[in-house]
Every structure is written in C-alpha cells, then in structure tokens.
Amino acid sequence: MIRLIGYFFGIGSVLFIFVAGAVAWYVERTAEGLPDYQVLAKYEPPVTTRVHASDGQLMAEYASQRRLFLPIQAIPDLVKNAFLSAEDKNFYSHPGIDIEGVGRAVMVLAKGGRMQGASTITQQVAKNFLLTNERTLDRKLKEAILSLRIEQAYSKDKILELYLNEIYLGMGSYGIAAAALAYFDKSVTELSVEEAAYLAALPKAPENYNPFRDYDRALDRRNWVIAQMTANGVIDQQEASAAKEKPIKVNPRPSGTYLASSQYFTEDVRREIVQRYGSKALYEGGLSVRTTLDPALQKEARAALQNALVAFDQQRGYRGPVTTIDIGSDWGAEVGKVEALADVPQWRLAVVLEANADRVSVGVQPRRAISGALDSQRDIGTIALSDMKWALRLDTRDQKGSVRSADQVLSRGDVVYVEKAGDGDGYLLRQPPKVQGALVAMEPETGRVRAMVGGFSYDQSEFNRASQAYRQPGSSFKPFVYSAALDNGYTPASVIMDGPVSLPDGNGGYWTPQNYGGGYAGPSTLRLGIEKSRNLMTVRLAKDMGMDLVAAYAERFGIYDHLKPYLPMALGAGETTVLRMVTAYSVIANGGRSIEPSLIDRVQDRYGRTVYKHDQRFCADCNTREYDGQAEPELVDERDQVLDPMTAYQITSMMEGVVQRGTATRVKALGVPVAGKTGTTNDEKDAWFVGFTPDLVCGVYLGYDNPQPMGHGATGGGLAAPVFIDFMKEALKGKKPVDFKVPEGMELIAVNRKTGMRASGSGPDVIMEAFKPGTGPADSYQIIGEDEIASGPGGGQISQQAEQAITQGAGGLF
C-alpha cells in the first residue's frame, strides 16, 4: 500500500513538475516580446488645444481626442475614491493583479464560459496603453505580467494618474477633466458626490449608461457606485441617501467655438497655428493660445456691421423665403428640418401659417433639447404689416416692384427669419443680407487685432472678407500718396491744380479720371485735396513725384506686396485687404513705426512653456528684483521707422480735416479727436472708411462678394463711416478724449487752408498747419501741374496691365 502511494506520489510529482514546467515555459514564451512599459514614463497623450481671448474667455477647442491632462495632485480625493470604489477598491494594496479575481476568471473559462475581465486599474493601464482589447488567455497573461512590472516601476499615484487621464468616458471625452466639462460643464474640483459617482460608473461601457438613451440604467449604475463609496467609507450613509435622491442632470458643454461673434477671428487663428506648428500640434499638442481679441469690442463690432448690412439690404427689398415646406399635421417637425444660422441667435426660423392683408401668423422653429430632439412646445407669433414694410418692395425671381399687403409678400408654408419685437408675440421679418462687409480694429502701437468681423454670418459664409477678400480701396489709399509727398519735400500747404487730366490708356484711347460728382476746384492745397478726396489732384501729385516712389511707399506700409507703378494705382485701383489697410493706417497712427498685425499674443505648449510671443521688445532691467535708485527700465523698440514721425503727424492732421470739413463729417458726432479717410470705387462697388484715435484704428468695408454697383450715393462716407461711428461709440465709452501728439520740433503756423498762404487773424478758412523745421507756407503762389493735361515723363502712359485694374470710361476711382 505504501509502495502504491509512493508510486502515485511519484507520478503526481512528475506530472506537477511537467505542468509547472509547461506553465513556466508558456509564461516565459508569452513574456517574450512584450511592449516596453518604460514608455509610460514619457506618456504624452493627445491633448486638447484651447484658444482664449485676451481676458481669458474660452474661444475654441481643437482635439482629435477631447482630453485635458491633470496631474494626480490636482484631482480631488472624492473623484479618485469614486473611481477606486467602482473599479478597484484594493488598488493601493494589491501587487498589480487581483489573485482572487483571476482565479474566478480562470474557473469560468475552464468551465467553457467567456473570458472575464477581473482587471485591476493597473491591468487596465497595461491594456489601454500597451495591448489590444482581444479577449484571449494570451492577452490576459500578458496583461498580468505587464501589470506586475508596471507596479515595480511606478508609484501607485502615477499609475492612477495615467488611468484617470486616459480612459474614455463617452460624449467624445477622454480622461476625467474633459468628461467633467462634457457632462456637467464643470471642473473636477466642482463635482458633487452624485456627479463624481456617475463619471465613475462610465469606464466599463459609457454608451450603455448614457442618460439620454437609457436613463434608468444609468441611474442604477450611478447609485451602485454611490453604494460602493459608502461601503468603502468614502461617504457616510446620509450623504449617500441624499446623492441617490438627486437625478442625473447632464449639462453638456458645447464643443468647437464658444464665442459666436468671433468665428472669423478664431478660424484665422486656427489657420495660423496650423501654419506655424502643423495640424498634429493643433489637434493633439495641448497648446494654450492667448489671442489679442477683446470680446466686448468684438461683440460691438459684429453688431455694428450686422445692423448696417441688414439696413442696406432691406432698402433693396424682399428676395423671397428661405424655402417653402408642406406644413402637414406638425409644422414644428417640418420647419425643424430646415437649418438656421446658428451664429445669429437673435434670429429664428419660422413658417408662415396664415397670411392676411395686415398681418402674418407664423410658427417659430422649436428649439432642440440637449439630446438633439425637438422641443414639444409650439410657439406661434405674429408679424404685423408695420414690422415688414421694407418687404413690400419685392425683388424676387418672379416678381419685382411694390405691393401693398402682407399676403402679397408671404404665403402659407414660406420659411423665413424672424426676430422678437418686444415682450409680446410680435416678430420682425428678417432676411440674411446679400451685401457683405468686414471690420478690423487694431491697437496702433502693437498691431494687436482687438476685433475682426469677416461678414454677416460665419454660418452663412466662411469666407473672411477682413483677411481674405482683396478689393480696391479707392480713395482710402490716398493718404499714402500724400504721405510719400510730405516725406519728400511737399507740405500740407503745397498747392496743386485741380483740373482735367487725360492720359493715353495704351489701347489707342484715353483715361480721363474725374472727381466724384464732377467739377474742378482749381488750385488747391494738399490738405483740401485729401479733405475733399480730389482724384485729379492726387493723379497730378503722383505724376509729379513719380509712381515709382508711390509704389515704394505702398509696399513699405505693407498695403501691397508689389504695386505696379501706374497712375490709376494712385487712386486705389490695386487690390488689398481690410487687415492690410488697417495695419498701414496704424503705422501712421503710431508715429511711423512698422508693425506686424497679430491675432495671437502668445502660445504655450502642454507644459506651460512659452513657444511664441508677439511682443519682441527687449527690456534688460525689467526683471531686477530690487530698487536701488536706478532709472526706470525701458523697452527697446527695434522696429523700423517707415515714415518720418513729423510726416505721420501732418497726414494725421490732414485726415482730421476729412472728419471736420471733408467727406466724413458725420464722424464728428463722436466728439473726440478722430482722423480718417473715406474710400469709394467705380460705380459704388466698394465702400470704405478707415479711421483712428491715438489708441485705436478701425477699418470698415462694405460690398458684394461678386462686385456690383450698390447704388448711387453708396459711398464710404454714407455706408462705411456710420459703421465706424457705431463701433467707436462703444469702444470709446467711459474713456477720456486723447489728442494726437505733436512731435517735438514741429511748428504750427496759421495759414489759409484754401490758398496755403500765411494768414493773420482768424476766420473759417484759417487753420493751424503743421510744418517741419526749415519749411513753412510758401512766400509766393506756386501751383503744381498748372499746365499739364496729358502724360509726361513723370507718369508714363498706362499699360494694358494697368487698364485691367481700372474701369473704362469717364470714371476713375474716388
């Protein structure tokens, strides 16, 4: 018997050794070629890039995976313990694997069951970072081996940090920081017990516990986590009971762009980041971008431009509905299918339910719930005839002319835009304008763009007319012609003949520019020429200087990369952008210093290191720790001086005259020192106004995307200047008026503004004119270009290339 026992023991021992050897061989073979867990030390997951306004407001987020990395020290204990209770309550005591759980999983597998998880947080880190999701014994063994190695190499806190930042928690969010924002629009430090428990319920299957799909299932899972937190001593019974009583209130944070008024600005920032650092850095690099945008100014800029575009468009009449639908039994569902302009929130789509002679009944498009479902409430409103009078002028494909009643304009089933009128159920009829425009506001000293609007609505058109649209600036270019003259021997009191000019056009004919409105003023000063925007004087001045000089100055200011030296270009026939024009005016406003326009103040990488800064001025002593009687530190400004500061003041003073006595007198309503210049192109196709105070430059442009006449009288002073006024009223609110600074050494002499001669006494035509040292009013009356009516060596004849830039006929630009 003993021998038999020994026999079986021997066989058992051999089998045990054999099995143990086989297991050891299997484990060793499986361990070969495992991923290198050391890469976890250099963990750099895709992180969201965030774009902020100058005051810190979030403007936009860009990410391939919405994730915000948080170090373990920044994660509240409540959140950590919620996840530990739900996923791995023994995390801080086990060696990386749960022996008991592994045993249960093996037993189930041995009985023919499905491979179970039994994964600790460390195993989930191993799987998520280094392995695949396949359910096989090989993968589970690799996971266990890697977990043991990870536990030996890293602290528990580091492992938990990796886990909490990597896990996918639904709604496009990776990691707990992004999930807290995605579900509750909160930071992790603001989460309540029930909110932390809900997030901790998600790692296993976030889509299964989506409250919009299966609220009861999500609630049960959350309450189970709360119970686990109670059992583990994280919260007491009273806290648990209170948390379980609360519903799951998901408040998703919107993705993409957060400041609707800044979408044109934000898109230009996005393109610049991609150009500088590449798409991967934008969508995965976790950059922090601080822009130059002032949200308050941006809001006012957009409102000023939108109001002007709508007002102009309504004067042209009603072009018809957005679309027409079959109302059916539920008009709300039908109109809900029509896509609205999301970035014009004050406008709503509505469908006409009934149209009478004096009023129209409309059903307003229902709003969408967080889940995407249409609200069940149906709001019905009224458009009175008095609130749609502008639409009585029809400009539709089928009908043009005027009508008298509302039912001749709108019909049942028409889908239109409406805007609330007061507190009742009344609405105003609206239509997205066909005419477009742009506005740019900039700090002249720094080039920081404080506001940028590229059109009526980004949802309507993503084309940015502030930075992408190249249009003729017309007379708003003239200050740079006059700057070149003032920089090269002329004075504001120099006299030029305002009379007919006729030049060969290179095709056997003649180019005959005219002043706006026709007529000639005869001999006039440079000041009067720019105040009244005289085309003929400008052509003569450019011809007298030579267009090569004018072209050089235009390029020096950054208006054009290369300007052909043809005389029509002196009237603004070359194409440029609003952003470039505002930058050029900023050079004049800051005293002649070159600037680079900037939408971005600084960029930091995911670790907070500054990788880009717009302000490149150097200050050697700004970081001195102690004050010992030394002089105040000074910023070293190494920017190029592209214009004499005295010239800059002279042209500024002349443009103040444009506002006081010239083509932009309505801008006087601002009641502060303002300089500026209007611009209008042939047939009133483009309307411009660029103006500035000592601290802010603003440029406005209006016109159609496909250039066409806007109608007689649609000038820069009539269309663009009012937008400037509306914006600047708000921008200057609460600020003290500031005078333009006169450079040291300039002499102010009383002159007659019409003749340019020295004046004595006072009168409506006597002004104080600024002269550089060694210059002054002329002692004798000299007229530039008195006898010239045709081309000469100074101007040259117009080539076929120049002809393409101007309009044929008696016109010219003005």
Q: Is 531 exposed, middle or buried (0-12, 13-18, 19+ CB in 10 A)?
A: buried
475 is catalytic: yes
* Tokens representing residue 450 in the block: 């404080």
Active-site entry in 61, 87, 194, 334: 87
Q: Spell out the alpha helix ranges (H) of 401-516.
A: 478-486
pLDDT at 761: 75
* Cβ contacts of 710 within 8 Å, gap of 6 or more: 312, 435, 684, 685, 687, 702, 703, 704, 719
Q: What is the pLDDT of residue 25?
A: 45
Contacts of 611 (CB under 8 A, 6+ apart): 277, 603, 604, 605
Given this model, what pLDDT does residue 140 score? 67
HEC readout, 123-181: HHHHHHHHCCCCCCHHHHHHHHHHHHHHHHHCCHHHHHHHHHHHCECCCCEECHHHHHH
User: What does the pLDDT read at residue 794?
Assistant: 36
pLDDT tens track for 511-524: 899 998 888 999 99
Return the pLDDT at 147: 75
Mark the ranges of the chain whose per-residue pLDDT is less than 50. Answer: 23, 25-26, 29-30, 789-812
Q: What is the DSSP string of 717-763?
A: IIIIHHHHHHHHHHHTTT----PPPPPTT-EEEEEETTT--B--S--
Collapsed DSSP state (helix, strand, coil) of residue 288? strand
- What's the rounded Cα separation, in Å, for the pair 576 and 560? 7
Containing 62, the helix (H) or strand (E) segment is: strand 58-62
pLDDT at 807: 37
Amino acid in position 97: I
User: Is residue 87 flagged as an active site residue?
Assistant: yes
- In DSSP terms, which residues pair with 700 in a beta bridge? 439, 689
457, 475, 586, 653: the catalytic one is 475
pLDDT of the residue at 801: 41
3-state secondary structure of 497: strand
pTM of the model as a whole: 0.88
The residue among 382, 390, 416, 387 whose CA lies nearest residue 311 is 390
